[in-house]
Structure 1
Amino acid sequence: MTSSEQFASLARDHIRAIEDWPEPGVTFRDITPLLADPAGLAGTVDALAGIAATWGPIDKVVGIEARGFVLAPPVAMRLGAGFVPVRKAGKLPAAVESRTYDLEYGSATVEIHRDAIVTGERVLVLDDVLATGGTLSAARDLVTGLGGRVVGQLVLVELAPLGGRARLGTQTPTAALVTY
């Protein structure tokens, strides 16, 4: 078994399914047990950074609120990159750019500081879950709107039946460590 297969097995053993949360009909994939396990946390960061490194040098890692915040800083440190938060509307104190998008169970707005990305910077967009693709797409649009070049989109978990990868298109590499 390869190290990526071993990690996928460890991750599947630790990621729990919570039915009907946050609303009826939705199965939430809870990554907190994986991150609470020292080997799980280390393996997650190593695996994410390993994939990102194949996309060339990265200047900034954009982490999407909230669980993307947990993953992005240690991945950025491993890559020698900076960390930039993409937050829910109204949470950032300086001038922002905003995007509204649809979720599998509603809609949301995310924001980024206007000065967070310098034109031409190579950016990795990182989140915990790829579901419908709305959050990653909105974050990618924010980065490119500021002049950044998104070199990859990376998630811990992909929920394939929700079609998010198709929504993201093929122009930017997209990877997931575990797919359900």
Structure 2
Amino acid sequence: MDKVRAAIAVADEAAAEQDAAQEVADTKAAAEEACAEAVRAAKIQAAVAEDAVKQWERDNPIEAATLAGVAVGGAVGAVAVDALRPRKLTDTAKDAVLEGLFGAFGLDAEKEKVREQAAREEKLYRIKLFEPDLKLLGLSLLDAPDLDEKRLRKAFRERSRVLHPDVRDESLDQKGVPTVYELNAAFEALRKLL
């Protein structure tokens, strides 16, 4: 009889532990769902805020240009790129909304993913402006998102081996063939973007 009572007590204790574990699991699932909903809401609010700021920029172009401003750097390539595409007020507003919403919920990983994607898109947009230089170096826009200085140097060296005057056949018609000077200029322009 004592063994039966002890077994029942152990079974009751195990059932209580199982109920407590299920309650913890349910609480975690509810918290995860709440966080996922908060992320969805934050993304929607960020999109709405971005649309509102874009509309304001369209309605007030002079004020938007004044607020956004263009940073002037020391290097000629950097100045040219910044002049072609200054950081828009919408980008700044989006950063502020992301920082506020994701930071409030402690979603630093999600915020970092959004920032990394935005940085990749910005890099691709800037490099698109120099697509002829990419082609001169034997690269395409498909190579642009993963382009770093090491890959750029490798492409530069490979094209230099083809275009260098010591290697080229001077007896052939050279019209339309890029010079090493053009290759150097393309390399420097793209290197400054990275």
TM superposition score normalised by structure 1: 0.24
Higher helix share: 2
Find the structure with the greater CA-based Rg. 2
TM superposition score normalised by structure 2: 0.23
